[in-house]
Amino acid sequence: MTVLVVGISHRTAPVSLLDRIALVEDQAQALAIDLLASAHVAEAMVVATCNRVEVYAEVTKFHGGVVDVTERLAKAAGVARDEVTPHVYVRYEERAVQHLFDVTAGLDSMVVGETQILGQVRNSLRLAQESATIGRSLNDLVQTALRVGKRVHHETGIDHAGASVVSVALEMAAKELGGALVNRRALVVGAGAMSSLAATVLARAGAVVVIANRTFDNGQRLAESLSAQSIRFEDLTDELRNADIVVTCTGAAGVILDVDTVREAIVGRESALVVVDLALPHDTDPEIGELPGVTRIDLGSLANAPGAHVSEGDVTAARTIVAEEVVAFVGAIAAQRVEPVVVSLRARADEVVDAELERLRLRLPQLDDETAAEFARSLRRAVSTLLHTPTVRMKELAAETDGTRFAQALHLLFDLDPEAISQLTASTDVTVESSSPSGVATYDELLGGAS
């Protein structure tokens, strides 16, 4: 078995493609379920955010797993595989662990250090647990990643430059409106996680917040929590005429604000209008930004935003924590893999000690119980001392390349339980034949034009 990551993100694909492959919650959950139908995938979890779609999988065959995950991902997104594969990246084993830790810590985000990804990974884990697509291996990995992400944000200043994509986008919007959001009328479209965060940030900044949501009750609950106003979705166009800033993030299948609607809304107005589109696929027509007096900010605009960068010192500190945690996690997993051999070795030693003690009792029947017990304690203590160093070293070496060979050698030398070595072999039988031994590759580097 091996852990595998197959993904597409803002680092490898244009926003136009990310728009097309974006998966809503139900689609992500359905993809994870579909992946378990593959002969090569034992566990699966899908992380789908505004700037990435990644599949984390425990696979029995590496290349088969890569092909199956990529094909099913493309199918779920409704995009041809050949269109997707040039932008797909693959991480496996230790580098897959590191990638998830980087992602959860905000090190791989469009806005480095953003905290929203923690909640998104947590939600992905919840969906995988609910649909039973995740087992012990991935569950332990993701739970550890969430702890690592929290540690990075607690022990470094990585999130000081901007807590999220939302905060950076709204800082850009504020500059377009003269530098402040106080008393500005802000129309927030949607009531999901991103929209709720935007509405909260706007309210704290002193803006007059208006919520428009397709499900009025959900929008009203959000509005009440912020002492804001709620309107029905069909009244959105009328409210647009009064808004200084519009924030959209609905996850809708189509555009909710087209250029004609906005053009009509700005007739006769002298003040600027800023449209912040944080959705994938886009909620707003890109041509809106070409209208006079209108500025449109989308996810693609954030990559080079001044607030999207943190100090090198904080990033270095964060990466150091991630590196430490990766070593610890990989070492713990390797130790678990050789545990059956450790147990078998100690069981074999106990058998030898028991046999020797029984022979001692037969040869010295006059030995009293207290003396016999002391002999037994001394013998077991000596054997335990002798086994301590080999078993500790076996667990340490297991994390190294070909480290399990030490365990296999012990098996042969001490004639251990065959079941123990079969478990060890089963955990390491995935062969990765790749020109990228570092654990990082693209789909084409690994499989080329394989069908």
Contact between 295 and 174 (Cβ < 8 Å): no
Domains assigned to the chain: 2-161 (3.30.460.30), 165-308 (3.40.50.720), 324-426 (no CATH)
Which residues are CB-neighbours of 437 under 8 A, at least 6 positions away?
Answer: none
- Please check the confidence at residue 431 and state whether its pLDDT lies above 50: no
Q: How far apart are CA 108 and CA 332, in angstroms?
A: 25
At 178-196, the pLDDT tens digits run: 988 999 999 999 887 778 8
Q: For the chain, what percent of residues have pLDDT higher than 90? A: 47
pLDDT digits (tens, 9 = 90+) for 103-117: 999 999 877 787 888
Q: What is the pLDDT of residue 49?
A: 85
pLDDT of residue 305: 65
List active site positions: 50
Beta-ladder partners of 49: 52
Pairing of strands 89-92, 2-9: antiparallel
Task: Give first-to-last CA distance, the chain, whole Å.
Answer: 23
Token duo for residue 8:
């597409």
- Give the single-character DSSP code of 49: E
Compute the distance between CA of residue 10 and CA of residue 148 in angstroms, rounded to an integer.
23
Whether the per-residue pLDDT at 429 is higher than 50: the answer is no
H or E segment to which residue 427 belongs? none
Q: Could you tell me the two tokens for 396?
A: 């340490």
Which residues fall within 8 angstroms of residue 210, CB to CB, at 6 or more apart? 185, 186, 187, 188, 223, 228, 229, 230, 231, 239, 243
- 450 in Cβ contact with 383 (< 8 Å): no
Which band of pLDDT confidence, cut at 50, 70 and 90, is reported for residue 427?
Answer: very low
Q: What is the per-residue pLDDT for 37?
A: 93
pLDDT at 350: 86
d(CA 267, CA 269): 6
What does the pLDDT look like over 224-282, one tens digit per residue? 999 999 999 999 989 999 999 999 988 676 789 999 999 999 998 889 999 999 887 78
Which pLDDT score is estimated for 303?
A: 63
Which pLDDT score is estimated for 251? 66
